Amino acid sequence: MKRFATAIGIAALVVLGAQAAFSQTLKTVQDRGELVCGANGSLAGFGMPDPNGNWVGFDVDFCRAIAAAIFNDPTKVKFVPLTPGNRFTALQSGEIDVLARNTTWTMSRDTTLGIDFAAVTYYDGQGFMVHKSLKVNSALELNDASVCVQQGTTTELNLADYFRSNNMSLKTVTFATADEAVKAYDSGRCDSYTTDSSGLYGERLRLSDPDANIVLPEIISKEPLSPAVRQGDDTWEDLVRWTHEATVDAEELGVNQRNVDDMLKSSAPDIRRLLGVEEQFGQSIGLTNDWAYRIIKAVGNYGESFERNVGQGSPLKIARGLNALWTKGGLQFGLPIR
């Protein structure tokens, strides 16, 4: 009798497990009809409104990918601009569903804030920008320099660490927003401005004379930028994570925005699993089986999104570098969808 009951129980688990997984956050998003995404609001290339008021950027495209996967419509996203001060509180309180705001994945943030990081979408590092007139070629020459920095970021901490470990002394000038920090640097209040290297290229475009400033070669820290979600909703976290993995897998397999419709007819097993022609991975994250097809159709694969927002197709012209595919010497390694 006991073995029969156990067998019935296991069978029930198998049946239930095969059905669509439930996520409270996903249900809230679907009921609301749009995704609420925490964004930067003023970082060129990552998340800011263009002159017509439409949000564009690398992190913005990631949120649009999630919206496309859920609603088959990448425009069903509301962006909430956040500062480093309130970005985690907004996520913890439920004001936003996902935080895609060039946020570094660190242990303290992962363990003490009640949030989880989904996947590293951009491998970055902190750098320095200086006025060309100072004739500085390396960050090691910046002893006693004044550095403008935005408060509440890993940037602030890395800056102090770097100067201490190289026995240099430092004068920081901290500001609440990156805008003020850049403006103060531009006016000559500081000798140098420091932030993630991707941000340096973006901010340089906004200076009064971009060519009078150079970005120093040193990268002084690891800044793995990752979208974040609240703890407690594992299915939602899986959804966000596999949205990123799908875009990287697509680039590895050669699937892009233009050829994704043709790729539906492909016979390669990897592509068929990715686009949902075979198997039913969409259900296990609460979506339809063509979830990855929707993502690629809406925003393209990882490489397309990168080049369009921060790469050669954008004013920033950042090289793929660490963000190239692992087959090309970079760190982006798509987890297998199977």
Partner 1 sequence: MLEVTQPARLGRRQWGSVALQATLVAVVGAFAYGAFVNAAANLAKANIASGFRFWNNTAGFDISQTLISYSPSTSTFGQAFWVGLLNTLLVASLGIALATALGFTIGIARLSRNWLVARLAGGYVELIRNIPLLLQILFWYNAVLKALPDLRSSIPLPWGTFLNNRGLFLPRPQIGGGFGYVFAAFMIGAIATVALRTWTRRRQDSTGAPPHVLPHALVLVVALPLLVFFLAGSPLKFSFPEMGRFNILGGVEILPEFAALLLALTIYTAAFIAEVVRAGVLAVPHGQTEAAQALGLRSGGILRLVVIPQAMRVIVPPLTSQYLNLIKNSSLAVAIGYPDLVQVFAGSVLNITGQAVEVIAVTMAVYLCISLVTSLLMNLYGRSVGIVER
Spatial contact of 42 and 79, defined as CB atoms under 8 Å apart: no
Spatial contact of 153 and 276, defined as CB atoms under 8 Å apart: no
Nearest-approach distance from CB 331 to partner 1, in angstroms:
26
- The neighbour count for residue 315, using CB atoms within 10 Å, is 12
Spatial contact of 301 and 256, defined as CB atoms under 8 Å apart: yes
Q: Which is nearer to partner 1, 174 or 284 (CB)?
A: 174
Which range of residues in 14-22, 26-34, 87-95, 267-275 is near partner 1 by CB under 8 A? 87-95
**Does 161 help bind partner 1 (rule: CB under 8 A)?**
yes
b/e 137-173 (16+ beta carbons within 10 angstroms → b): eebeebeebbbbbbeebbbbebbeebbeeeeeebeee
Which range of residues in 95-103, 168-176, 220-228, 274-282 is near partner 1 by CB under 8 A? 168-176
Nearest-approach distance from CB 35 to partner 1, in angstroms:
21
**Does 172 help bind partner 1 (rule: CB under 8 A)?**
yes
Single residue of 89, 137, 280, 312 touching partner 1 by CB under 8 A: 89
Q: Which is nearer to partner 1, 129 or 253 (CB)?
A: 129
Q: Which is nearer to partner 1, 207 or 264 (CB)?
A: 207
Sign of torsion over alpha carbons 144, 150, 156, 159: negative
Tokens of 91: 């996520």
Nearest-approach distance from CB 186 to partner 1, in angstroms:
11
Nearest-approach distance from CB 100 to partner 1, in angstroms:
18
Nearest-approach distance from CB 150 to partner 1, in angstroms:
10
Q: Which is nearer to partner 1, 164 or 317 (CB)?
A: 164
Which range of residues in 24-32, 172-180, 271-279, 313-321 is near partner 1 by CB under 8 A? 172-180
Q: Which is nearer to partner 1, 99 or 263 (CB)?
A: 99
Measure the CA dihedral 106/121/163/191, to 10°: -140
Q: What distance lies between CA 112 and its chain's CA centroid? A: 20
Which range of residues in 178-186, 220-228, 267-275, 290-298 is near partner 1 by CB under 8 A? 178-186
Q: In angstroms, what CA-CA distances link 174 with 155, 179, 187, 194?
A: 11, 12, 15, 11
Q: Name which of residues 95 to 154 contact partner 1 (CB under 8 A).
A: 108-109, 111-114, 134, 142-146, 151-153
Spatial contact of 96 and 36, defined as CB atoms under 8 Å apart: yes
Closest CA to 127 of 200, 41, 53: 200
Measure the CA dihedral 278/284/287/289, to 10°: 0
In angstroms, rounded to a whole number, what is the distance separating the alpha carbons of residues 86 and 66? 23
The residues binding partner 1 (CB under 8 A) are: 84-85, 88-89, 92, 108-109, 111-114, 134, 142-146, 151-153, 156-157, 159-161, 164, 170-176, 180-181, 184, 187-189, 191, 230-232
